Chain A
Amino acid sequence: MIKVIHCIVNGKEEEIPVDIRESLADMLRHRLGLTSVKKGCEVGECGACTVLVDDEAIDSCIYLALWADGKKIITVEGLQQHTSLLTPIQQAFVDEAAVQCGFCTPGLIITAVEIVGSGKHYSRDELRKLISGHLCRCTGYHNILNAMERIVEEAHKFVGNEY
């Protein structure tokens, strides 16, 4: 059964017909072409499909598209700035070589956006806990944490500004 939902995806109002059986990950990838949303495990363990729904990071593979009705969704595509430059969060991942194969990267960047959005300082252990919902099978966790630490350090410059 098809149902029409209304939501704001990456700042743009969308009216989308969705199958009631569809996950949010499928909707974002197939109906809107937002392929930064990766499908890894499809059971909410790997975090590759992480997106922000009303500013909270969720696994879009175990979230029904129906539930996105009335919500504000952000994917990595939505982080793009007018100048076409990388956001400071993305730049930190590049600078710290926190990307190997890149499959886990969009999800981790979305979690980084959520973390930075809180404006708080976190210890490395706290950051470990905050990224525990992501799997990086290249096991590049050290560099990911380096990037996260760097972002959190610089966070106050961005909070209230663009991500």
Chain B
Amino acid sequence: MYDIENIYEAVDIQDAIKALVENPSAIPLAGGTDILIKIREGKLAGKSFISLHHINSLKGITRDEQGNIMIRPLTTFSHITYHPLIKTYLPMLGEAVDQVGGPQIRNMGTIGGNICNGVTSADSASTLFTYNALLEITGPTGIRNIPITAFYKGPGRVHLQQGELLTGICITKENYEGFHGHYIKYAMREAMDIATLGCAVNCKLNASLDQLEDVRLAFGVAGPTPMRCNKAEAAVIGQTISPSLFKTFSEVALTEVNPRTSWRASRDFRLQLVKELSKRALKQAILLGGGHLDD
């Protein structure tokens, strides 16, 4: 038996928001794969929860006429990985969330929970940063959209006001069309582990496939929240693919990150991973885009 004060099962989005407004201390509960464990550990014991489990409008993936892809937050990791729209347009995201936990966890855990937890190690978050994902947030006064890059306040804290709920993750066409990306999760085990470092690179090549027209680099666990490395990106955009480009990319990235020492790994080891994985992920992304590595 879980140490739970009360659970309210919301029937739709408006009902969930109303319940959140009426119970300011209640915590929204999605897949439960993190929260139920925190209850068991005692960290969230005795609290009240608002279950979103039965809200079908918070599940699913669609693509509109403009080609923008909307992922509803209660979509489970495995449903994302196996969804035809994801396989076709956002393969990096499907591959990244296929590295969360183990198979059963991926059948339960949701992408919305992964983001709203506010943890830096979320496999979906760094990847979504490189797609410039827009978050649709619904609250008592209506809907607002914010970029995921502005969503994180600090470890475990995100920009959700009282009564607000993440109701959509949108990736616009210009942020995936022509891009090829690669996510590397570095962990001690190949499954059932949390990333020591996560690195996502999304890049777009020019027509002759020898220059980087656009690059996005994002990390998990390289700082208190998932983060983009804008300086590293700016240093290589428009450049011709060459061994020195990879060197520049990883060296500038090192100046932007701020990993910590934890029981999983030391700061120095994480810095080494930042340096190495940023290069490897960029190389793989270039290869996926049909480019050649000149080394």
Contacts and interface: CB of A to CB of B under 8 A. Distances in A.
Nearest to A60: B104
Interface residues on A, range: 20 to 34
A20 B191 contact: no
A36 interface: no
A20 B37 CA distance: 16
B19 to A, nearest CB: 14
Contact of B51 (A22, A23, A42, A64): A64
Contacts of B191: 129, 132-133
B7 A58 contact: no
A58 B1 contact: no
Contact of A44 (B6, B51, B104): B104
B51 A69 contact: no
Contacts of B1: 19, 21-23, 26
A135 to B, nearest CB: 9
Interface of B: 1-4, 6-7, 9, 32-33, 36-37, 40, 51, 53-54, 78, 101-105, 107-108, 190-192
Top-10 shortest CB links A-B: A133-B102, A132-B191, A56-B107, A133-B104, A62-B36, A59-B104, A21-B4, A21-B2, A133-B103, A132-B102
28 contacts: A21-B1, A23-B2, A23-B36, A26-B1, A43-B40, A44-B33, A44-B101, A44-B105, A57-B107, A58-B108, A59-B104, A59-B108, A62-B32, A62-B37, A63-B32, A63-B108, A64-B2, A64-B51, A66-B7, A66-B9, A67-B53, A67-B54, A111-B104, A129-B103, A129-B190, A133-B103, A133-B192, A134-B102
Given A64-B51, A66-B7, A133-B105, 18 more contacts: A20-B6, A21-B1, A21-B3, A23-B1, A23-B36, A43-B40, A44-B33, A44-B101, A57-B107, A58-B104, A64-B36, A66-B9, A69-B54, A130-B103, A131-B103, A132-B102, A132-B192, A133-B102
Interface of A: 1, 19-23, 26, 42-45, 47, 50, 56-59, 62-64, 66-67, 69-70, 111, 129-134
